[in-house]
Amino acid sequence: MAGTQERQADLGWSLGTLLRGYLKLSADALGDLPGGARGFQVLSIAGSGSCSNQAAIAESTGLDRTVLTYLIDDLEKAGLVVRTPDPNDRRSRRVTLTDAGATRLAQLTSRMNQVEDQLLAGLPAEDAAALRDILVRAAHSLDADPHEVCSTVDEVAAEVSA
pLDDT tens-place string over residues 6-29? 666 688 888 999 999 999 999 999
- State the pLDDT at residue 71: 96
| pLDDT tens, position by position, 113-136 | 999 999 999 999 999 999 999 998
Selection from 7, 44, 11 nearest residue 26 by Cα: 44
Distance, in Å, from the CA atom of 105 to the CA atom of 43, rounded to the nearest integer, reads 6
Contact 44, 111 (CB under 8 A): no
**Looking at this protein, which amino acid is placed at residue 77?**
K
Confidence of residue 151 (pLDDT cuts 50, 70, 90): low
Handedness of CA 15, 140, 156, 45 (dihedral sign): positive
Query: How sure is the predictor about 145, in pLDDT bands with cuts at 50, 70 and 90?
Result: low
Per-residue pLDDT averaged across 74-96, rounded? 89
